C-alpha cells in the first residue's frame, strides 16, 4: 500500500521568511509520480508540480523549489521569501504509474500561514 | 482547464436520506475520480471510473456508490447519509492516457449531514 506523510500540520511564518514543507512517501512501485497541490482559502486545488521517480533533479520555479531524494523517499517543497498570498494548505501526493488509470494518495496536508 | 463542474456546491441533508453528487466534464476524459477531504486526512479516494459503466472502489468506499452512464457524467450517491459523511467532496479527471496524464480537480461540494 502507498502512503504519504506530511508530519507538519501547520507552519506559521512572517512574510519574507523561507518555509520548507516536508513530504515522505512509501511505495513498492519502482515507477511512480509525486505531486504538490496548493489549496488556498477559496478551496480549490491548484496543481504545482509533478515529478516522476526517474528524475531526481531538483526544480526551481520562481519562489518555489522542490528537493526530490529517492534515497530517503522524500519530496520536500520550499517557498522562498514567503508572501501573504502563499497562505494555504499544501498537499503532497503520490501516484502509481500503471496503464489502467492512476490513483492519487495524498498526505494529510500542511497549513501554511504567512503573517504580514 | 478540464471543464469540470460539480453540483451542488453546497448541500445540507438529514441523516438517512439518499444524496447524489454530480461531476460533469466537457473534454471526454476517460478516467474520473471521487475524493473526500477531511481535516488531517488529506483527500481520500472513494471510487473511480475508467470508462462508461466501468468503476471500481477506492480506499473509503463503504456507504457510497457511483455510476457512469455517459463519459461526461460521474455520479456519487450516498445511499443513506450519515454524519460521518459530512465532508468536502472533490471530483477529478485524469488528462491524457495512463501515467502520462495530470489531474484536474473540480471546485468541490461541501456536504453537511445533520
Q: What is the mean pLDDT of chain B?
A: 92
Please determine, for residue B94, whether its predicted confidence score (pLDDT) is greater than 90.
no
Q: How far apart are CA B47 and CA B18, in angstroms?
A: 17
Residue A54, pLDDT score: 86
Please determine, for residue B65, whether its predicted confidence score (pLDDT) is greater than 60.
yes
Stretches where chain A sits below pLDDT 70 are 98-101
Q: For a pLDDT cut of 90, what percent of chain B falls above it?
A: 81
For chain B, the straight-line distance linking the first and the last C-alpha, in angstroms and rounded, comes to 34
Q: Do B98 and A107 touch (CB under 8 A)?
A: no
Residue A57, pLDDT score: 80
Q: Do B98 and A102 touch (CB under 8 A)?
A: yes
Give the minimum alpha-carbon distance from A113 to chain B in angstroms, rounded to a whole number.
Answer: 16
Produce one character per residue of A91-115: b if its CB has 16 or more CB atoms within 10 Å, e if not.
bbbbbbbeeebbbbbbbbbbebebe
What's the whole-number mean pLDDT along residues B57-83? 96
Q: Comparing A73 with B101, which gets the higher pLDDT?
A: A73
What's the whole-number mean pLDDT along residues B8-29? 96
Interface mutation vs chain A, best among B4, B49, B103, B107, most A CBs within 10 Å: B103
From B58, B37, B39, B59, select the one nearest B47 (Cα to Cα): B58
What's the whole-number mean pLDDT along residues B18-25? 97
Q: How far apart are CA A37 and CA B103, in angstroms?
A: 10
Give the minimum alpha-carbon distance from B110 to chain A in angstroms, rounded to a whole number.
Answer: 10
Residue A100, pLDDT score: 60
Q: Are B40 and B23 in contact (CB under 8 A)?
A: no
Please determine, for residue B2, whether its predicted confidence score (pLDDT) is greater than 60.
no
Q: What angle do CA A58, A9, A47 make, to 5 degrees?
A: 45
Residue B69, pLDDT score: 96
What's the whole-number mean pLDDT along residues B65-72? 96
Q: Are B66 and B77 in contact (CB under 8 A)?
A: yes
Q: How far apart are CA A5 and CA A23, in angstroms?
A: 6
Amino acid at each position: 500500500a502507498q502512503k504519504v506523510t506530511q508530519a507538519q500540520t501547520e507552519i506559521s511564518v512572517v512574510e519574507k521568511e523561507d518555509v520548507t514543507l516536508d513530504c515522505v512517501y512509501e511505495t513498492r512501485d519502482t515507477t511512480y509520480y509525486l505531486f504538490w497541490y496548493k489549496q488556498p482559502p477559496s478551496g480549490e486545488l491548484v496543481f504545482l508540480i509533478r515529478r516522476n521517480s526517474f528524475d531526481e533533479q531538483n526544480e526551481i520555479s520562481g519562489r518555489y523549489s522542490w528537493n526530490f531524494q529517492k534515497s530517503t523517499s522524500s519530496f520536500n517543497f520550499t517557498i522562498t521569501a514567503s508572501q501573504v498570498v502563499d497562505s494555504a494548505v499544501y498537499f503532497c501526493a503520490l501516484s502509481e504509474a500503471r496503464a489502467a488509470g492512476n490513483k492519487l494518495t495524498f498526505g494529510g496536508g500542511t497549513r501554511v500561514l504567512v503573517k504580514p | 482547464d478540464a471543464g469540470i463542474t460539480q453540483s451542488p456546491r453546497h448541500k445540507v441533508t438529514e441523516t438517512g436520506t439518499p444524496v447524489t453528487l454530480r461531476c460533469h466534464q466537457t473534454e471526454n476524459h476517460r478516467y474520473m475520480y471521487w475524493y473526500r477531504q477531511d481535516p488531517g486526512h488529506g483527500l481520500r479516494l472513494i471510487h473511480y471510473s475508467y470508462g462508461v459503466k466501468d468503476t471500481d472502489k477506492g480506499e473509503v468506499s463503504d456507504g457510497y456508490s457511483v455510476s457512469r452512464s455517459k463519459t461526461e457524467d460521474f455520479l456519487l450517491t450516498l445511499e443513506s447519509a450519515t454524519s460521518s459523511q459530512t465532508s468536502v467532496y472533490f471530483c477529478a479527471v485524469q488528462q491524457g492516457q495512463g501515467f502520462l496524464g495530470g489531474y484536474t480537480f473540480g471546485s468541490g461540494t461541501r456536504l453537511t449531514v445533520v
